[in-house]
């Protein structure tokens, strides 16, 4: 004859094992989330360093080039003031376009989406196992 104590012992053992596995799974998912966030943060930092370096190197050369173009326009017969104004407007327009493109490129979500999807899948599997 089976007693109540004998029936509940395997059930509590199984539930303890399930809770232990879920806790381990959550710890693993948290480690994955940290790794994914670190990876994205590293990409942001690398991009910012490269962008800063590019600006520091290109800006002086661009100023000299634009002044040379203004000088060329003055030699070609355009008044120097108008040449400088024309170049300034063109450069500002190009810069605004590049700024908008850069802002759109930086709209990467820092949320660890792969990890969240994996956690959702793990919870659905755990629910099925418990039921």
Instruction: Provide the residue ranges of all domains of the chain, joining segments of one domain with +.
Output: 9-130
Other C-beta atoms lying within 10 Å of the C-beta of residue 43: 11
pLDDT of residue 116: 76
pLDDT of residue 1: 47
H helix intervals, the chain: 4-75, 80-105, 113-130
Other C-beta atoms lying within 10 Å of the C-beta of residue 70: 20
pLDDT of residue 74: 93
Read off the pTM: 0.46
**Which residues of the chain register pLDDT less than 50?**
1-2, 5-7
> Distance (Å, rounded) from C-alpha 69 to C-alpha 76?
10
Whose CA is closest to 51, among 105, 87, 89? 105
DSSP 76: T
């Amino acid at each position: 004859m089976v007693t109540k104590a004998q029936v509940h012992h395997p059930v509590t053992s199984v539930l303890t094992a399930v809770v232990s596995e879920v806790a381990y799974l959550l710890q693993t998912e948290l480690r994955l989330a940290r790794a994914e966030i670190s990876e994205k943060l590293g990409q942001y930092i690398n991009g910012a360093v490269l962008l800063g370096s590019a600006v520091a190197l290109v800006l002086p050369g661009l100023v000299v080039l634009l002044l040379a173009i203004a000088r060329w326009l003055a030699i070609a017969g355009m008044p120097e003031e108008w040449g400088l104004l024309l170049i300034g407007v063109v450069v500002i327009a190009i810069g605004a376009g590049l700024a908008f493109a850069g802002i759109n490129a930086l709209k990467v979500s820092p949320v660890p989406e792969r990890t969240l999807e994996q956690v959702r899948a793990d919870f659905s599997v755990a629910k099925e196992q418990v039921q």
